[in-house]
């Protein structure tokens, strides 16, 4: 990506963000937080996450 393209993209993104109503920005932020992957998955990948959830599930039973 060339510098001009990057500046154009960033400018469009910022203008789009600023043009949104405050409530819309808050709603989008909340949705993003809710869809974020869990800590274990983000930091260690799928295999440790599966092991962790399996151990956690077995302890409940």
pLDDT recorded at residue 59: 87
How many domains in the chain? 1
Per-residue pLDDT of the chain (61 residues; tens, 9 = 90+): 688 999 999 999 999 999 999 999 999 999 988 887 777 677 777 888 888 889 988 987 6
* pTM for this predicted structure: 0.45
pLDDT recorded at residue 50: 84
pLDDT recorded at residue 19: 93
Distances (CA, A) of 6 to 9, 14, 30, 53: 5, 12, 27, 41
Q: CA–CA separation, 49 vs 43, rounded Å?
A: 9
Q: CA–CA separation, 30 vs 26, rounded Å?
A: 6
pLDDT recorded at residue 47: 84
pLDDT recorded at residue 61: 65
Quote the domain boundaries for residue 52: 3-60
């Amino acid at each position: 990506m060339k510098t001009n393209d990057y500046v154009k993209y960033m400018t469009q993104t910022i203008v789009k963000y600023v043009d949104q109503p405050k409530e819309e920005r808050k709603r989008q932020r909340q949705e993003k937080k809710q869809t974020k992957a869990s800590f274990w998955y983000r930091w260690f990948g799928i295999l440790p996450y599966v092991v962790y959830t399996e151990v956690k599930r077995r302890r409940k039973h």
